[in-house]
């Protein structure tokens, strides 16, 4: 039984399962964060009159209390598992 556990710990299938679970969790539970930017825009050709306009700018995704620009990826806590998956070019 220990051979199966050891194989599962370093397997590519385990990596894909954990990565898929993490990705689904991130995309379903993250919230998009925007900020409103105000700036002056010229309304005439000679640029003599201006109007104030607002624009929404994307800042990132809020996930577990932190702000990310993109999916942060799977966090691997065990060094030997990380090295094995790195050797297999999964990460």
pLDDT tens digits for range 25-82? 999 999 999 999 998 888 877 878 889 999 999 999 999 998 998 888 878 888 888 8
Q: 12-29 vs 2-10: helix axis angle to the nearest 10? A: 50
> Is 25 part of any domain?
no
> Is 89 part of any domain?
yes
Q: Are 26 and 71 in contact (CB under 8 A)?
A: yes
* Tokens representing residue 19 in the block: 């990565």
- Between 70 and 91, residue with greater pLDDT: 70
Q: Which of 54, 53, 16, 49 is nearest to 34 (CA)?
A: 54
> Is 5 part of any domain?
no
pLDDT band at 1 (very low <50, low <70, confident <90, very high): low
**By residue range, what is the domain housing residue 64?**
34-91
* Size of the chain, expressed as the number of residues it contains: 91
pLDDT at 73: 82
Q: How many domains does the chain have?
A: 1
- State how far the Cα of 87 lies from the Cα of 62, in Å rounded to an integer: 32
Across the beta sheet with 66-68, the strand order is 31-42, 50-63, 66-68
pLDDT at 20: 93
> Is 74 part of any domain?
yes
pLDDT at 30: 93
Q: Is the pLDDT of residue 85 over 60?
A: yes
Q: List helix spans (H) across the chain.
A: 2-10, 12-29, 79-87
Average pLDDT, stretch 8-23?
91
């Amino acid at each position: 039984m220990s051979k199966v556990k050891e194989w599962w710990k370093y397997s590519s299938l385990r990596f894909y399962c954990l990565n898929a679970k993490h990705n689904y969790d991130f995309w379903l539970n993250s919230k998009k964060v925007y900020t409103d930017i105000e700036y002056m825009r010229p309304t005439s050709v000679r640029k003599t009159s201006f109007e104030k306009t607002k624009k929404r700018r994307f800042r990132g995704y809020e996930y577990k209390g932190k702000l990310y620009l993109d999916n942060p990826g799977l966090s691997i806590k065990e060094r030997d598992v990380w090295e094995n998956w790195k050797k297999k070019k999964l990460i």
